[in-house]
Structure 1
Amino acid sequence: MNKIVTKQPANEGTGGLPNPLPAEVRDFIKEVTAGLDQPLVNRFTPAIGQIYRQSRESGIIKAESQCFDEQFKDLIRDWVAYTTQKVTGGVPDVVALNKGSFTARAEGYTDNQGPRALKNQEAINNFVAQWVCDAAGKGGKVLDAGTADGKRALIIAGKVAQSGGNYELYAVDLSPEMVLLARQNGIPHVEEGNFLNLPFGDTRFNAMTCLDGTIGHLRSEDRIQALQHWFDRIDDDGVLALDVFNQQGLFTVLTKKHNAIRTALGAHFPELREEGLTEGDFIYSVAGSPPCYIHHFKKDDIVSELRATGFEVSQLRTIAIGLGRDKTDVTGQEEDYNQASIVVLARKTKTQPRITIQHEQSRGPTSQDSKRMAV
């Protein structure tokens, strides 16, 4: 009697991958998917394999690399956790997601930031203090949006005071724990609230600040609504000072890694594609905190969004993290050092018209950030 041999599929146990992955990658997939239901494992396995292969082909990781570097692994872990929550119905909207993350990080928030980040902030604070002093330093009103524990807003107010200026400081934050800390740290007017509906009644401000990349915690459509709302709350000839994180410079490789993860996962998870995430959208966690969303910008993008909502961009600077150096940059040319932050001074003028900005987002697995301006 002939023995019947059942032929196993060539890719059995590899999630349908056409070629075997290095053992190190297979081990990492097992680690990052441990505890998940098998249907999810079967979807993550080819997705992570795709991230690895495409990252080698594109040069994000070296061709001889047998696995991801440690930073890449951490990013994949964050995205896998986020995608799992999305598939199982556990992911709230971006506002609630970020609120949970910053609430968990509230205690020791400023103290837990590294010396390079603090040095970067110090360079930015010097510019912002000068701008705010010019706009509101003679008894005006200033609102800090996304103040966290309030320490940075108070540092800037102190710099203005050293220059002989003074203003009434207001602040808002999404997290009630952060609001409590800001109040304890000495901000006189601080309320819990969101960027689309600022508190303090119909109070208008001579200046607003939104620092540490905070406006990037809003999705593109919400950023436009927030900027329009802020425009209406700022006095004529008032200013808005922003710093956002740069896709390029120091974060070029990091941006490529996030884009590779997002694209590969999107090919296997329509639930993620439906989020409409685009180039520069990051999912990340800090020191074991719940995941958070943030957008890193190209210079032209933040300028376009400000102009679209009626602001006139007066100055744009790029800051090299850890070096405290800057460049007045309106040409888009890069210096020979990494530039992590984009610092923008925008002004509300009576003559600057609002225009319409349309965000086009591909829902396919190779979605790219495409924005078309229509005057």
Structure 2
Amino acid sequence: MGACFLSFSVSLRLPSFLPPPQFAASRRRRRETASNAFSRRGLVERRRPAPPPRTLLALNFVGVQIHLSGLGLISSSVVLQRARSIWPGRGCSLFSRNFGGSLGRVTMDMWIRQAEVWVGQAESWIRQQPPEQIYVAAAVVALSILVLIAASCLKSSKPNTIVLSGLSGSGKTTLFYQLRDGSSHQGTVTSMEENNDTFVLHSEKERKGKVKHVNIVDVPGHARLKPKLDEVLPKAAGVVFVVDAQDFLSSMQAAAEYLYDILTKAIVVKRRVPVLIFCNKTDKVTAHSQEFIKKQLEKEINKLRESRNSISSADISDEVELGVPGEAFNFGQCQNKVTVAEGAGLTGNVSSVEQFIREYVKA
């Protein structure tokens, strides 16, 4: 009786952990059918074995290294080197390909969190400060910004125009072409129209670095065209007054009157426009020296000053009194800088003019 009960109990408990033979065979056939179907399509997915404890430890170690690299404590190359040493093979190659993007995201997240911390600290520090100090600091920052903007505007609006003036036949047009093309164009004839062009000086075309373009305006010296000078002087960075050193004595008085009109212009005095008296054609044997021309021009201008001062102020409203009353005139008394140089436009000796231009038209 006991044996029968034991066998009955065992037969009842077998299905709980071991299926009947017909069920097991049916399940095995279904598995084989499904496996063959997936094998034909190339979709078999094999179960990967659980990673050994050493691999889990390596993954944890590499994760710590990535975190340190995100904080900027170690470089990414060090992380890859350590990963290869503890995790060789194909797994390390996959890690290397994916490491760059993952590290970039980790680094960006770390910086965002750090920025939020810094903002919070700044807000906390501001709340702890007295309101008066905050207002003063804000005013200083605003004033600094305004000063920088004003300085930038002044720098960008600085004129870059050089005016070539002087009597007809003094060589202004030849000087214009020498500055632009490095050639006299086989000499020129007296022009009745102004030459106006913006270019890089010919002597600086091969120069490396930043070179600023210059606007050169050649104003005709004919008496009827002198009003054109009033149109370009307000935007002039400098004036080059060209004098014929070879034929100076015959044109000395007219040249002095023209120069006097320029030096007494209110716009020239107010803006302190520098003037260069360029004694041209000094390559000729009969040309006068720049010292002689300078002294003669000062004497003639002194005579003009005395005669003009006797005229009523209503007739010279646009003029400024020149020199020091009671003293003989010299160019050092002018409020703007006046210098004298010599050269020859026809032969290309114009270095003094180029130096003057670069002094007042900064690159």
TM-score above 0.5: no
Bigger radius of gyration, 1 or 2? 2
Structure with more helix by fraction: 2
TM superposition score normalised by structure 2: 0.24
More strand by share: 1
Q: Give the structure, 1 or 2, with the largest relative contact order (CA under 8 Å, sep 6 or more).
A: 1
